């Protein structure tokens, strides 16, 4: 039995943000995650956008947390050493009849307190974004909209929490909760935990966790969205995130640059029965390509390097559920878009609530700074030379597409919350994210994982248990 | 110092280019290779069948590579291993190459001429947008080949292969020999992209079915592949409803094409062909950037390594000549294609500069029997040769004669069906 003052269930971006904010306070803190790494659910597959905040209904949690979260990102990205760029967004209107809706969106944004909004004529929009289609008749510009790497953001938040004392338990799914005098008794297959307060950041399972403790039942409709990611050669096709104004042609999909220089198209929106069904479909991928072409022309769709499906926990009341659902049990449920953008604000809000409840003081020695693994490819030649002379493994390139060195991979494996799997290395370093999608580097990364973690190659996994890459020795291999 | 010729890549193309550059007078040569051994992809190709044209012997991949590595060593041509080139730019001397390695850190090398010999990489699943889940157990065929042949591990026990490129065919046999069950090879085209001999020796001999005009339309399994669905496709490559067949398997190997690896070429401004994804070159195998030559799979994907060696020897020779005395570029005539000819290498020819004979390589887009390969200069036919069989998986070549091209304004290479 392990005892903590505060336990966060879920190490996605919301759980990690909550953990980081809670780690500012005195008191023991743990994060329980059912998967083997942070950022394995909804947080890993989404549009990677820090929204400006004009979309949500004024007065909702979504509106409030989005605008606040967006404002927090500059400082946060600095402190956590994560890539973030305010590239701006254009919401393009594809049909004259829908133009009043653009004006509506603008007004809604003003009500939500979004700064840097302006309505653009077609000419102004095309001047900013030359690849808009002829169909675009006007646009809403949101200057504060930005792009981020969801993996690095989640990892940064989680590592920052860990640096400040949070203990992470992976492969530790919560099976049930019991109210006890001191707070909550939490059962997992491995061991039991107690906590005075619990944060429910269980993503697409947050209703299940909520329903274990509350009579006021919550029901999420899990939706999936399919995306296509294009090669870096296509990355500069648009400069802003280009949204389509929902209207005559449906909800539309976005076309956006990513912080790493790729081009992202998507998502679709389909309700799901199976909550973890992240498969892509031929129809979904075709829809992404088709719809993205409505707002942006000449997208080089031949340069798709991968496609994926993201999950969204949609709450039927259409808002985030942020409340104390039972004594000491705090929900962060139904966090769908703009969840990534809102995460820092949600984390802060929950932490303040919990600190108040437990009467916790702030630590005097909270360290806001977390360093990511170095990105040699982005360094000047001089700096890179210096780095390699200090640590020669930075000179040994393992992933040729993204030019990731052995040293960067070793840093990721031995990081605060080190990588244990191929996907873990990929998300921390980008090794395997390039145009050959790990064909070249995966055997090499497997060797490094095997050596550094003292595992047999057969134990090296893609991600979860059961995702081992190689199954047995070859006949000749036995002798080797 | 400034090298005469710097060669990026120490695989079959780079090795042959280096040997030939030295034979043709280049003194200061440097090969940069990112692997810890010379030989490139040949090192994992432990099957035989290499070198029939060059050595009249059936060698394994490592044996073929060793012949050239020996030649490089005999000539004391310097090479750096575990060294990755990260930058290629033009400079006053010619080219500037930036490379990193554990031993030497970040280094900048200058050379009068460069030979691009970086090879190619395999197209991944994402490039095909195959729907389904994303579990472990999906490998490009070359990655699986490395795991089996170099690491000594078996990536799967029940295997479906998508794509009948040569590596896929070779791996069908290899996995079978290791005790895995290869259930079928699906190919979206109505023909195989691999060599005929590989279809016979790797599939037919083991009773592995080749399903032409079929593709994978779904992948199942959460952590590990549990099965795939294969369906027949119509002439537009769209799956035909009702033809779906489920295969239980733990592994899907992809052999769905190779992409020449031209990041560095792009960086220095080399113009690429949208057909081959490799550089456009002239009769000297020189790109639009003076002094930058290309050969092997970075230029266009070859079927036989023998042709890579031949082509690379030309590139090495021309790079050596260039480094001694950069010749003035004359007027270059574009090579037009027609019929089933998809592209030619070279795609431009300067008749003044060409040697007496010039080998022009190309591939056709479909299977043909008893068709003709024709070459016309200024509308006048100079060559018409009957070919009993032509196939997309096999490279074709014709020899052009300098005398036929003097004063020419246009060259056209085409196929004519019987």
**In sequence order, what DSSP letters do the residues of A285-320 get, joined into one string?**
HHHHHHHHHHHB----GGGEEEEEEEEEEEETTSS-
| CB pair distance less than 8 Å for B152 and A308 | no
Which tokens go with A415?
């990081």
Average pLDDT over residues B282-291: 97
> CB–CB of A461 and B136 under 8 A?
yes
Q: A75 pLDDT exceeds 60?
A: yes
Catalytic positions of A, please? 51
Q: Which of B310, B327, B344 is the last residue of a domain?
A: B327
pLDDT-derived band of residue B164, with 50, 70 and 90 as boundaries? Answer: very high
Residues A466, B217: C-beta atoms closer than 8 Å: no
DSSP state, residue B138? E
Query: Which pLDDT belongs to residue A251?
Result: 73
Q: Any CB–CB contact under 8 A between B224 and chain A?
A: yes
pTM comes to 0.93
Task: Kindly state whether residues B129 and B59 are assigned to the same domain.
Answer: no
| A475 CB within 8 Å of a chain B CB | yes
Distance CA B186, CA A41 (A): 33
Proportion of chain A above pLDDT 90, given as a percent = 89
Q: Which residues contact B67 (CB under 8 A, 6 or more apart)?
A: B51, B55, B59
Mean pLDDT over residues A298-311, rounded?
91
pLDDT at A478 over 70: no
A476 CB near a chain B CB, below 8 Å?
Answer: yes
Is residue B330 within 8 Å of B381, Cβ to Cβ? no
Q: Touching check for B102 and chain A: CB below 8 Å?
A: yes
* Domains held by chain B: number: 3
Same domain? B146 vs B188: yes
Indicate whether B133 and B210 sit together in one domain.
yes
Which residues form the domain of B404? 330-418
Rounded to whole angstroms, the Cα distance separating B301 from A356 reads 66
Digit-coded pLDDT (tens) for A261-284: 999 999 998 888 787 778 888 889
Q: Which CATH number does the domain housing residue B284 bear?
A: 3.50.50.60
Task: Tell the CATH topology of A2-43+150-218+317-358.
Answer: FAD/NAD(P)-binding domain (3.50.50)
Cα separation, A226 vs A309, in Å, equals 4
Per domain, the residue ranges of chain A are 2-43+150-218+317-358, 89-143+221-313, 376-478
Rounded to whole angstroms, the Cα distance separating A463 from A448 reads 16
Closest CA to B136 of A248, A438, A325: A438
Of A403, A436, A473, nearest to B121 by CB-CB distance is: A436
Q: Is the pLDDT of residue A480 over 70?
A: no
- Please compute the mean of the pLDDT values over residues A340-357 and round it to a whole number: 98
Residue A397 is inside which H or E element, if any?
strand A397-399
Interface residue A270 vs chain B (CB under 8 A): no
Count of all residues that appear for chain B in the document: 418
Structure tokens at A237: 């096709």
- List, as ranges, residues 229-248 from B with C-beta within 8 Å of A: 239
Give the whole-angstrom CA distance, residue B220 versus residue B242: 18
Contact A477 B127 (CB under 8 A): no
CA A86 – CA A239 distance, rounded (Å): 10
CA distance B236 to A120: 41
Residue B238 neighbours by CB distance under 10 Å: 11
Cβ contacts of residue A39 below 8 Å, gap of 6+? A11, A12, A13, A16, A150, A151, A154, A155, A158, A427
Mean pLDDT across A329-350 = 97
Among B327, B343, B375, where does a domain finish? B327
Q: Any chain A CB within 8 A of the CB of B89?
A: no
Q: Give the separation between CA A446 and CA A438, rounded to whole angstroms.
A: 11
What's the gap in Å between the CA of B131 and the closest CA on chain A? 5
* Helix-helix angle B61-74:B12-23, to 10 degrees: 30
- A148 sits in which H/E element: strand A146-148
Residues 6+ apart with CB under 8 A from A3: A28, A193, A194, A195
User: What's the pLDDT band for A249 if we cut at 50, 70, 90?
Assistant: low
Nearest by CB to A470, from B82, B124, B147: name it: B147
Residues B384 and B335 in one domain: yes
**Model pLDDT for residues A184-233, shown as the tens digit of each residue:** 999 999 999 999 999 999 999 999 999 999 999 999 988 889 999 999 98
**Contact at CB, A435 and B124, closer than 8 angstroms:** yes
The last residue of a domain, from among B210, B233, B256: B256
Which of chain B's residues have a Cβ under 8 Å away from the Cβ of A278? 133-134
* Residue of B415, B392, B396 whose CA lies nearest to B188: B392
A268 part of contact set with chain B, CB < 8 Å: no
Of A285, A461, A477, the CB nearest to B131: A285
Residues B117 and B262 occupy one common structural domain: yes
Please give the distance of CA B55 from its chain centroid, rounded to a whole number. 20
Question: Mapping DSSP to helix (H, G, I), strand (E, B) and coil, where does residue A109 land?
Answer: helix
Q: Are A72 and A349 in contact (CB under 8 A)?
A: no
What is the rounded distance in angstroms from the CA atom of residue A264 to the CA atom of residue A238?
10
Torsion angle, alpha carbons of A199, A202, A208, A214, to 10: 10
Extract the tokens encoding A185: 């008794």
**A89-143+221-313 sits in which CATH class?**
alpha beta
Cβ atoms B319, B293 nearer than 8 A: yes
Q: Phi/psi of residue B411, each to 5°?
A: -130, 135
Reported ipTM: the value is 0.93
Q: Note the maximum CA span of chain B.
A: 67
Cis-peptide, bond into residue A28, ω within 30° of zero: no
- Residue A222: both structure tokens together: 């899990």
Q: Among A282, A395, A401, whose Cβ lies nearest the Cβ of B100? A: A395
Q: What is the pLDDT of residues B106-163, one digit of tens each?
A: 999 999 999 999 999 999 888 788 999 999 999 999 999 999 999 999 999 999 999 9
Q: Which long-range contacts (CB under 8 A, 24 or more apart) does B263-271 make?
A: B264/B8, B264/B85, B264/B87, B264/B88, B264/B116, B264/B118, B265/B88, B265/B116, B265/B292, B265/B294, B265/B298, B267/B87, B267/B88, B267/B89, B268/B88, B268/B89, B268/B90, B268/B95, B268/B292, B269/B90, B270/B116, B270/B294
Q: Do B135 and A467 touch (CB under 8 A)?
A: yes
| Residue ranges of A 447-466 with Cβ closer than 8 A to chain B | 447, 457-458, 461-466
- Share above pLDDT 70 across residues of chain B, in percent, rounded to a whole number: 100
pLDDT for A477? 65
Tell me the average pLDDT of chain A.
95
Verify that B164 and B114 share a domain, yes or no: no
Collapsed DSSP state (helix, strand, coil) of residue B289: coil
Q: Are residues B205 and B268 in the same domain?
A: no
User: By C-alpha distance, which of B135, B40, B333 is closest to A461?
Assistant: B135
Are B39 and B106 contained in the same domain? yes
Distance CA A99, CA A76 (A): 36
pLDDT digits (tens, 9 = 90+) for A136-190: 999 999 999 999 999 999 999 999 999 999 999 999 999 999 999 999 999 999 9
pLDDT of residue B277: 94
Please state which of the ranges A94-108, A347-361, A418-432, B117-131 shows the lowest mean pLDDT. Answer: B117-131
Q: Residue A479 pLDDT > 70, yes or no?
A: no
Q: Is residue A128 a contact partner of residue A120, using CB atoms and an 8 Å limit?
A: yes
Q: Which residues in chain B have their CB less than 8 angstroms from residue A438's CB?
A: 124, 143
Q: How many residues does chain A have?
A: 480
Q: Does residue B186 share a domain with residue B172?
A: yes
Q: Could you tell me if B229 and B89 are in contact, meaning their C-beta atoms sit under 8 angstroms apart?
A: no
Q: Which of A372, A348, A344 is nearest to A259 (CA)?
A: A372
Q: How many CB pairs below 8 A link A and B?
A: 163
A399 touches chain B (CB under 8 A): no
* Helix (H), strand (E) counts: chain B: 10, 28
Contact B286, B95 (CB under 8 A): no
Residue B259 CA, distance from chain mean position: 8
Distance of CA B165 to the CA centre of its chain: 12
Q: Are residues B361 and B216 in the same domain?
A: no
Q: Where are the alpha helices (DSSP H) in B90-200?
A: 125-128, 141-146, 166-177, 196-198
pLDDT of residue A223: 87
Average pLDDT over residues B81-100: 97
The DSSP code for A245 is P
Query: Do B207 and B301 share a domain, yes or no?
Result: no
For B61-132, where are the alpha helices, taking DSSP H only?
61-74, 125-128
- What does DSSP assign to residue A459? G
> Is B15 in the same domain as B138?
no
pLDDT at A313: 86
């Amino acid at each position: 039995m392990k005892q903590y003052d505060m336990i966060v269930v879920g190490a996605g971006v919301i759980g990690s943000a909550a953990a980081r904010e809670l780690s500012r306070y005195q008191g023991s803190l743990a994060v329980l995650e059912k998967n083997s790494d942070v950022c394995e659910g909804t947080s890993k597959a989404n549009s990677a956008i820090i929204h400006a905040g004009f979309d949500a209904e004024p007065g909702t949690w979504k509106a409030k947390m989005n605008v606040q979260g967006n404002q927090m990102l500059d400082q946060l990205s600095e402190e956590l050493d994560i890539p973030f760029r305010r590239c701006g967004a254009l919401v393009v209107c594809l049909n004259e009849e829908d133009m009043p809706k653009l004006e509506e969106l603008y007004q809604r944004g003003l009500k939500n307190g979004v700064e840097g909004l302006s309505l653009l004529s077609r000419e102004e929009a095309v001047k900013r974004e030359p690849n808009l289609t002829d169909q675009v008749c006007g646009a809403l510009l949101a200057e504060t909209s930005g792009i981020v790497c969801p993996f690095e953001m989640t990892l940064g938040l989680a590592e920052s929490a860990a640096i400040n004392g949070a203990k992470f338990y992976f492969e530790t799914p919560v099976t049930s909760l019991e109210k006890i005098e001191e707070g909550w008794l939490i059962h997992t297959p491995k061991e039991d935990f107690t906590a005075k307060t619990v944060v429910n950041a269980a993503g697409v399972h947050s209703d299940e966790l909520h329903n274990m403790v509350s009579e006021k039942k919550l029901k999420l409709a899990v939706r999936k969205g399919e995306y296509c990611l294009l090669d870096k050669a296509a990355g500069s096709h648009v400069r802003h995130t280009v949204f389509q104004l929902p209207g005559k042609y449906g909800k539309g999909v976005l076309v956006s640059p990513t912080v790493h220089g790729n081009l992202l198209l998507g998502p679709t929106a389909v309700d799901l029965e199976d909550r973890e069904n992240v498969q892509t479909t031929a129809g979904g991928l075709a829809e992404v390509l088709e719809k993205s072409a409505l707002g942006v022309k000449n997208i080089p769709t031949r340069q798709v390097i991968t496609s994926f499906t993201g999950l969204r926990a949609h709450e039927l009341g259409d808002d985030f559920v942020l409340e104390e659902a039972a004594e000491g049990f705090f929900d962060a449920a139904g966090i769908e878009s703009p969840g990534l953008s809102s995460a820092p604000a949600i984390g802060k809000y929950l932490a303040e609530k919990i600190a108040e409840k437990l009467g916790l003081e702030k630590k005097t020695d909270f360290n806001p700074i977390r360093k990511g693994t170095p990105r040699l490819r982005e360094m000047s030649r001089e700096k890179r030379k210096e780095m390699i002379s200090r640590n020669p493994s930075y000179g040994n390139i393992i992933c040729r597409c993204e030019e990731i060195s052995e040293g960067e991979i070793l840093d990721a494996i031995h990081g605060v919350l080190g990588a244990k799997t191929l996907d873990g290395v990929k998300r921390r370093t980008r090794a395997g994210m390039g145009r050959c999608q790990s064909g070249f580097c995966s055997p090499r990364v497997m060797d490094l994982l095997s050596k550094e973690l003292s595992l047999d190659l057969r134990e090296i996994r893609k991600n979860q248990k059961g995702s081992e890459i190689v199954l047995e020795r070859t006949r000749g291999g036995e002798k080797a | 110092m400034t090298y005469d010729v710097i060669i990026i890549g120490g695989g079959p193309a780079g090795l042959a280019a280096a040997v030939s550059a030295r034979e043709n007078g280049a003194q200061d040569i440097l090969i940069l290779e990112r692997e810890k051994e010379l030989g490139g992809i040949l090192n994992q190709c432990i099957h035989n069948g290499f070198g029939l044209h060059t050595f009249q012997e059936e060698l394994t991949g490592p044996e073929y590579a060793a012949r050239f590595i020996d030649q490089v060593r005999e000539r004391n041509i310097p090479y750096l291993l575990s060294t990755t080139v990260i930058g290629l730019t033009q400079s006053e001397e010619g080219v500037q190459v930036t490379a990193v390695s554990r031993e030497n850190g970040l280094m900048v090398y200058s050379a009068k001429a460069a030979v691009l010999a970086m090879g190619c990489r395999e197209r991944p699943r994402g490039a095909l947008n195959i729907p389904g889940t994303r579990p472990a157990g999906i490998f490009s065929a070359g990655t699986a080949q490395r795991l089996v042949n170099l690491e000594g591990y078996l990536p799967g026990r029940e295997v479906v292969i998508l794509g009948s490129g040569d590596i896929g065919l070779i791996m069908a046999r290899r996995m079978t020999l290791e005790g895995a069950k290869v259930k079928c090879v699906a190919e979206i085209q109505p023909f195989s992209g691999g060599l005929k001999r590989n279809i016979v020796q790797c599939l037919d001999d083991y009773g592995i079915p080749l399903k032409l005009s079929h593709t994978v339309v779904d992948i199942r399994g959460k952590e590990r592949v549990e099965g795939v669905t294969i369906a027949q496709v119509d002439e537009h490559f769209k799956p035909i409803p009702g033809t779906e067949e489920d295969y239980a398997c733990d592994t899907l190997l992809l052999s769905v094409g190779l992409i020449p690896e031209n990041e560095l070429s792009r960086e220095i401004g080399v113009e690429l062909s949208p057909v081959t994804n490799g550089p456009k070159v002239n009769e000297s195998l020189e790109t639009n950037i003076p002094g930058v030559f290309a050969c092997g799979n970075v230029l266009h994907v070859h079927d036989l390594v023998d042709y890579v060696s031949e082509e690379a020897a030309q590139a090495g020779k021309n790079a050596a000549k260039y480094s001694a005395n950069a010749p003035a570029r004359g007027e270059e005539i574009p090579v037009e294609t027609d019929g089933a000819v998809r592209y030619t290498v070279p795609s431009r020819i300067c008749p003044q500069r060409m040697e007496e004979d010039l080998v022009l390589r190309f591939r056709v887009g479909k299977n043909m029997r008893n068709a003709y390969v024709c070459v016309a200069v200024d509308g006048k036919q100079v060559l018409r040769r009957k070919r009993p069989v032509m196939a997309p998986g096999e490279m074709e070549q014709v020899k052009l004669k300098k005398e036929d091209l003097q004063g020419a304004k246009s060259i056209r290479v085409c196929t004519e069906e019987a």
